[in-house]
Structure 1
Amino acid sequence: MSQNSQLPKRDKSAYRPTPKRVVFRRDLETGKWAWIKNRLFFPIQTHAQALYRKLEGYRQTHPQYYVRTAFAAVIGALIIIPAIGIIQHDPAIKAKVIRGIDSLTQNKVLTLAAVTGRSTVYDEDGLMHGFGYDVARQYASHLGVELRVIKFDDANAVLSAMHSGDVDLALLSQSNIISEQSAKLPISPLACSDSERAIFAGAGIDADLVFVSQADSDIVSNVTQFLCDDEFQEDLSYLAKFHDDTLLDNAYNAQHFADAIQKLPLYEYGFRLSAKEFNHDWQLLAMIGYQESHLNANAVSPTGVQGIMMLTQDTAKAMGVKNRNDAAQSIRGGAKYLSQLQSQFQDIPEVDRLWFVLAAYNMGPNAVRQIQSRLSESGKDPNLWLNFYAYLHKNAAKNSRYRQCITYVTNIRTYLEAIKKHNANA
């Protein structure tokens, strides 16, 4: 037995603990997130710095490997990037997802691609609607599904989305379908007859609007059956009247509106101030004032309403307006009343809420709710503006207030679009 093996084992010195990595106090974070920073981010940073130093050392000892890696990356990019572009743009290569009625009703979503425009989807400065868009919403309501819209600036992008199976339907003018491949796609014209085409054209709406689906999809046949239903045909003519874009084509109306635009700066500060206080679009307040009184602070109607916003005596009192002919008080009172109406109709989807609120401003919220109840009793969605607007038309002969409301809301929509366009151009 060796001499070393006979030596007794020495206990570990209490003065020489196991060495640990030194962490200076200045390296540690203090405060609310100290534990996360010290236990998570600090170790990650430390290991990342160590890895960088290791790679840097390897680069200095084996520089040839880095040159080969960089060369391989460049060659790979030159091959992969063009290939991805071809796959994305060539519908024959990209895997298709055939969308039909079964998948649509199962997913509970109708996805629509559309070219933005006056006749399709109008989306300017917080105001979104449109004739084709409203027709698609009505179809989605008929199926009991949600409508999602993807907007594009040109027809080629819409057709590309359709070919690839990214959407269920496309909405565009038939004149945009010019390629041989797209011409074979099934289409469903929004106008089912020549008389309807005439109604569209008379309202300034593109009479060549069509829904388009994939070649193997059965959605177009279903939407055609819906569009050409006799009852919906009547509603569609009313919808065209609501989106009529010819009001200001009349020389008298155009001149009158132009005069109001010149007069608007006198009251613009008041509209902006009240709009900011009650979270409104000031241009909307201004166009309500134009429809009500043509921006005349001293206006008085035969029924006794007065001022720019044409408030009744009871409404003015409830809104704290002491002098209805004072422009600032009238505008603020109208803005406050409009805010209360918006609160009362929060159950209406935002895309239609404005039209219901304007109808309530004109004929009173109780009258609006009564019509909604009748629509609900007849099995129609009471929160869709088209259903409400069609009811007004169908019963206008019985009630003059309905005729007045039709004109009121339709005109303000036209004026609001016109003022937004004017201010955007200015």
Structure 2
Amino acid sequence: MLTAIKHAPHKALISLCAVLVVAGCSQPSTLQEIRDEGVLHVITRLSPSIYIEGQEGPSGYDYELAKLLADELGVELRVRVASDNTEILSVLDKNYAHIGMAGLSPQPALEGRYKTVSIGIAAQSMLVYHRELDRPESLAELAGKTIHVAADSNHEFRLNAAKQAHDGLQWQVHSGLDAAGVLARVESGEFPYAMVSSNELDLNHVFFPMVKEAFAVGETTDLAWFFPATQDNSLSNAVEAFFEQRRSDGTLAQISERFYGHLDRLNYVGARTFMHHVENRLPKYEDLFRDYAEAFNMDWRLLAAIGYQESHWRPNAVSPTGVRGLMMLTRNTASHIGINNRLDAEESIQGGAKYFRIVHEKIPERIPEPDRTWFALASYNVGFGHLEDARRLTEGAGRDPDRWMDVKEFLPLLAQKEWYSKTRFGYARGHEPVIYVQNIRRYYDVLSRLNAPLEQEPEQAEQFVRIEGAEKARPDTGAAEGDLRAALPRELGMIPPTL
């Protein structure tokens, strides 16, 4: 063989390669390459529906699933943040990433360019408009008017399909804009009409109260992860099996509830009121929230959200049932935790933080966050005994007593005799803690995004970076989704006082 290689190197190498192929040493699959390198490369964009970085680190519906996938594969997850969907698709075209998370649905124009796997979230294209305009009832009414959309979104192909039935339908595509950037321009009146995905509208609506929803265009479609067409099917097949398993074991439903289960808690009036109080009331107490949250090892934004739910940050608040102060402590609770003057803002905030920490520590440690915090909030509101009654009812029905999404269905049953008669602590207005928790989650979300750390400019546009220091590119949104301050009109009290 050595002689053959010496005298006919090309033929010998070809023969050797053929032998290796027959022996099973062919090119490794995409999935095997990922395992060999020990890294799953993902390209995405900043969006609370997909990926966002807060003070606690990365989060987002797609990110949480990508992290679970990487853990299951036994590899490291590396995320690169693109400026927009156009860049994401370009990176995939070059096969520079294994998965693209863009908040997109499969589209006719993209067939053949990418493989796709549904991620368990469905969305529609929603026509939105500035609140001071007359509400359009159909696309026909918008003939001759411009609809604004982000580039490489879910909306252009639907508008192209609708154009055949609606003469005069026209739209403008904006490169570099994301959903928040489009909504910010509708809020200001620059864009009278626009189109965004329903899930992104749900997540952003509270920040843009002058934006109204008109109607949906096209059918509801599943959002998907995208894979380069040049890949073999090994990774996409593994991802499909991963999602099927997570759908069966309830993980998809739980993560969906975490990010989308509380978004209906602020309507137009509530959003304007909350944002006004963020500017005009919160500055008086923010330092106290920060100081006592740190003292009791909790997030100051959560403590502030509890305070807003309790009293709208009013230190002299008094309820008909006798609870008082900014954190609305009962007389017995205040006495138990050593608070003398419930109407003193500092004592009240100190007492609220201390009491929440006591309640939180009662929740079993086996319950992971964020569910443990949500259970603690429910206990803060209705009492630990009633919460335990609801958890027992949940378990008795074959559901998971350690998951908030299950227990919140059983808490309202504590107001019905056929159910509370079977419990240890009896009757409770069980619907109230559910609303209480959902409201605080929404306030906390808003405060978290208003106080999110500023993004850093990317050092190298083509470099993959570990998740702990993920690269960020700031799109030309006027208000990137990780930094909403520029998009929030000052006259509505929507600029956070400090960051």
Q: Give the residue type in structure 2 aligned to 1:388.
A: W
In the aligned structure 2, how far is the partner of 1:412 from the partner of 1:148? 33
Maintained 8 Å contact 2:265/2:438: no
> Paired residue for 2:51?
121
> Paired residue for 1:407?
435
> Paired residue for 1:340?
358
- The normalised TM-score by structure 2 is 0.50
Maintained 8 Å contact 2:311/2:325: yes
> Paired residue for 1:358?
377
Give unpaired runs (5+ residues) of structure 1: 1-93
In the aligned structure 2, how far is the partner of 1:420 from the partner of 1:372? 29
Q: Residues 322, 359 of structure 1: CA spacing in aligned structure 2 closer, same or farther, 3 A cutoff?
A: same
Query: Which residue of 316, 323, 328 maps to 1:305?
Result: 323
Maintained 8 Å contact 2:247/2:253: no
In the aligned structure 2, how far is the partner of 1:228 from the partner of 1:149? 21
Maintained 8 Å contact 1:184/1:215: no
Shift of 1:174: 1.8
Residue identity (%): 28
> How do 1:105-116 and structure 2 match up within 5 A?
115-116=45-46
Question: Higher RCO, 1 or 2 (CA under 8 Å, sep at least 6)?
Answer: 2
In the aligned structure 1, how far is the partner of 2:387 from the partner of 2:32? 39
In the aligned structure 1, how far is the partner of 2:315 from the partner of 2:381? 18
Q: Residues 402, 114 of structure 1: CA spacing in aligned structure 2 closer, same or farther, 3 A cutoff?
A: farther
Q: Give the residue type in structure 1 aligned to 2:436.
A: Y
In the aligned structure 2, how far is the partner of 1:365 from the partner of 1:184? 51
Q: Residues 267, 259 of structure 1: CA spacing in aligned structure 2 closer, same or farther, 3 A cutoff?
A: same
In the aligned structure 1, how far is the partner of 2:266 from the partner of 2:430? 22
Shift of 1:321: 0.7
Q: Deviations over 1:175-215 (max 9, x none)?
A: 699996984313214246989x9984773489753245664
> Paired residue for 2:412?
396
Q: Give the residue type in structure 2 aligned to 1:186.
A: T
In the aligned structure 2, how far is the partner of 1:130 from the partner of 1:282? 21
Once the two structures are overlaid, the 10-residue window that deviates more, 343-352 or 202-211, is: 202-211
Q: Give the residue type in structure 1 aligned to 2:381.
A: N
Q: Give the residue type in structure 1 aligned to 2:341.
A: N
Q: Give the residue type in structure 2 aligned to 1:121.
A: Y
Aligned-partner SS, 1:210: strand
Q: Residues 203, 397 of structure 1: CA spacing in aligned structure 2 closer, same or farther, 3 A cutoff?
A: farther
Maintained 8 Å contact 1:158/1:170: yes
Q: Residues 261, 276 of structure 1: CA spacing in aligned structure 2 closer, same or farther, 3 A cutoff?
A: same
> How do 1:124-273 and structure 2 match up within 5 A?
124-126=54-56, 129-133=59-63, 150-154=78-82, 171-174=101-104, 183-191=113-121, 200=199, 203-204=202-203, 209-212=223-226, 215-217=232-234, 218-223=237-242, 225=244, 241-244=260-263, 247-248=265-266, 250-273=268-291
Maintained 8 Å contact 2:310/2:328: yes
Once the two structures are overlaid, the 10-residue window that deviates more, 365-374 or 143-152, is: 143-152
In the aligned structure 1, how far is the partner of 2:57 from the partner of 2:293? 16
> Paired residue for 2:300?
282
RMSD of aligned residue pairs (Cα, Å)? 4.9
> Paired residue for 2:342?
324
Q: Residues 230, 304 of structure 1: CA spacing in aligned structure 2 closer, same or farther, 3 A cutoff?
A: same
Shift of 1:389: 2.3
Aligned-partner SS, 2:357: helix
| Structure with the greater alpha carbon radius of gyration | 1
Query: Which residue of 425, 430, 450 maps to 1:422?
Result: 450
Maintained 8 Å contact 1:321/1:329: yes
In the aligned structure 1, how far is the partner of 2:75 from the partner of 2:378? 25
Q: Residues 423, 316 of structure 1: CA spacing in aligned structure 2 closer, same or farther, 3 A cutoff?
A: same
Q: Give the residue type in structure 1 aligned to 2:233.
A: D
Question: Number of residues paired by the alignment?
Answer: 321
Q: Residues 402, 296 of structure 1: CA spacing in aligned structure 2 closer, same or farther, 3 A cutoff?
A: same
Shift of 1:97: 3.6
Shift of 1:241: 4.6
> Paired residue for 1:67?
none
- The normalised TM-score by structure 1 is 0.58
